[in-house]
Chains A and B, each alone.
Chain A
Amino acid sequence: MKAHLAANAALVALGIAVAFSDPFYAGIVTLVALFVFLATAVNLLSGAGVLMFATAGLYGVGAYTYAHLTVYYAVSPWLAIALGTALAAVVGVLVVMASLRLQGIYFAVSTLIANLVMSAVFLNARPLTGGPHGIVGVPTPSVSLLGIDLTLRGPWHTVLTLVALFGWLLVVSAMMRGARGVRLQALRMDSVLAGTLGLGTARIRLQVFLLCAGAMGLAGTLYASYATALSPYEFDIFVSFAVLTMVNVGGRLTFVGPIVGAAFLTVPVFLFQPVYALRNLIYGSLLILVITLSPGGLVGIVRRGADRLRPARLQEGAPDARAA
């Protein structure tokens, strides 16, 4: 826990330092942080044995709620962030409740179709989302401290995003460790057995879903306030697939995996324009390579390397090192 905390704090500090060095980099750090949000949420869900494809849709629910409320009703950006997060959590729970009777692959497919429905709403529900033209002129939140008013733009928006991400990663870390983590693991490995052992499987799954959908919505509200303009095409099913790729390439079911994957796959895409047009080609190839050759992802490769070194070290030193 402490190692996670220190590593998170170091990453946030690094992100803030990079953000203040150049406004262009500030934008990239924000986007990476938002994909870390999405990837860690998807990973936490797969930790509970749930394969979920409505990522982009829930991200979009957060983003459109924020944009709609701030632009059409001049709601305070902070309140809009809270409402966007809450609405995404509610929509997420509706998706699970509709699909709760479905198992495994059927559940995954129903969330995929849920994303198609949400994409159709973003594209067609003009009064709510502005239709194909989206919503423009979305305001950013501002703070006033000690008499100074500060609009959170550029690097300051990155600070906001990173602080939110820091909080979310603490939640993720708490969910993956200790008794909670063991419960999730039990749910993933055999949900029927976990149920007979007295775990409220539906309740736990619903809780995790509420948390993760909320996190996706929060990321969406932060995206809307960063981008200041929304287009329905930014929330289509390919974004869900990209996030799935990040989780698998980084290393699913680990804490650092999705963070590494999101950074590794977003930085080059936003840094180099020609790569952006090829991103899905690259993501798809990497996804297939990882799933067929090294299902543990990058983290798995590093761990295997470390394991290979470890026995040698054990032989040199104390033979009981592993028992201790």
Chain B
Amino acid sequence: MHGCGAAQPAGTAWGELVLVVPVLVEGLLLGARYALFAAGFTILFGALRMPFIAYGQLVLVGAYAVLTLTSGLGLGFFAAALAGLLALLPVLYATDRVFFRPLYSSESPVIVYLIITIGLTQILSNAIELVYTANPRTVFTPYRQTAAVLAGYPLSYAGVLSILITGVLVVGVAVLLAHTRFGRALRAMVQNRDAAALMGVDIIRTSTRAYLLAGVLALAGGMLLALDSSFSPDMAVQIIGIVFVIALVGGSGSIFGAMLVGLVLGFVLAAAPLVMEPYMVDFTIYGTLFAFLVLKPEGIFRR
């Protein structure tokens, strides 16, 4: 998840550049990715009050879908991504229809959401391990070739594309939330659900759309993960840990706040291996979260 090139001893100006460039590039890559994950997750957690535990598995479904479509059907990466999204959208819609829509109008569905999504987590993770084994997998595309070498750091086309597309998606979500009727309805639901309903927001329809949007963002996030990184089933637990941290630190109501925290966290994680042992990174993230939960449970950006 937070892979960064091995740290080289600094000293000269060139040495420092060798350190800074990978951190900046990896930071941008991870930051954009976490902002995307956080956007989808916070739409569910903040607006729908749905703690979607299976989010990490949903991301991996996107990654493995691309793997199957490229290696199985021989599609190019972007054709596979598009085909995967089109094929999975009806599945997302069906899960919404069967599991969640009956609950959108009910009073306190949070625990039910939690338990249903835990069930989905168990099902999806087991299915993924059955079909694809626990070993790391890689989608090989021509984009993996090096596009440029920056201060000794090889930057691949895939990395550039991943940063660009993720960035476009993140900005797109921000624009959607800020400027469309749907976005306003969703933000109104975050602030006060009952008041939003009284002002004419169709809670059920907005919830369904938000669920589909969040699901597509998760799948797309997984596909972009597959574009430039290897992935394995155990990443799902890391992803859910990180998106919870982002959502809680950012303030679970604020989608923009979560995106910002995700971006910052990406840079922090890219830089962290320079100053600490890799396995300490997880402890640091979770430790920060616990400090936040105890000292400032409402998060940085309040609703």
Contact = CB atoms under 8 A, between A and B. Distances in A.
Contacts of B111: 51, 104-105, 108
B122 A106 contact: no
A241 B121 contact: yes
B38 to A, nearest CB: 15
Contacts of A105: 49, 51, 110-111, 114
A284 interface: yes
B116 A288 contact: yes
A102 B237 CA distance: 22
Contacts of B297: 101-102, 106
Interface string A107-130: 011101100110111011000000
B130 A285 contact: no
Given A113-B244, A280-B126, A241 B118 contact: yes
10 contacts: A109-B51, A112-B244, A117-B282, A237-B237, A241-B122, A280-B123, A284-B120, A285-B123, A288-B120, A291-B112
Contacts, number: 110
A206 to B, nearest CB: 16
Interface stretch (B86-94, B223-231, B283-291): B283-291
B142 to A, nearest CB: 35
A135 to B, nearest CB: 18
Main secondary structure of the interface of B (DSSP, over half): helix
A102 B252 CA distance: 13
Contacts of A242: 122
Contact of A291 (B51, B116, B124, B294): B116
Contacts of A283: 119, 122
Nearest to B116: A288
A103 B118 CA distance: 19
B149 to A, nearest CB: 34
Contacts of A113: 241, 244-245, 286, 289-290
Contacts of A51: 111, 114
A98 interface: yes
Interface in B105-144: 110-112, 114-116, 118-127, 130
A287 B237 contact: no
Contact of A284 (B110, B112, B123): B123
Nearest to A131: B279
Nearest to B289: A113
A135 B116 CA distance: 35
B100 to A, nearest CB: 11
Given A245-B119, A277-B130, 9 more contacts: A51-B111, A51-B114, A106-B248, A110-B293, A238-B122, A281-B123, A284-B123, A288-B116, A288-B119
B106 to A, nearest CB: 12
Nearest to A287: B119
Contacts of A67: none
Contacts of A116: 237, 241, 282, 286
Interface in A240-287: 241-242, 244-245, 248, 277-281, 283-287
A196 interface: no
Contacts of A8: none
Contacts of A124: 279, 282
Contacts of A121: 283
B78 interface: no
A173 interface: no
A245 B126 CA distance: 15
A120 B286 contact: yes
B245 A281 contact: no
B232 to A, nearest CB: 13
B99 interface: yes
Nearest to A285: B123
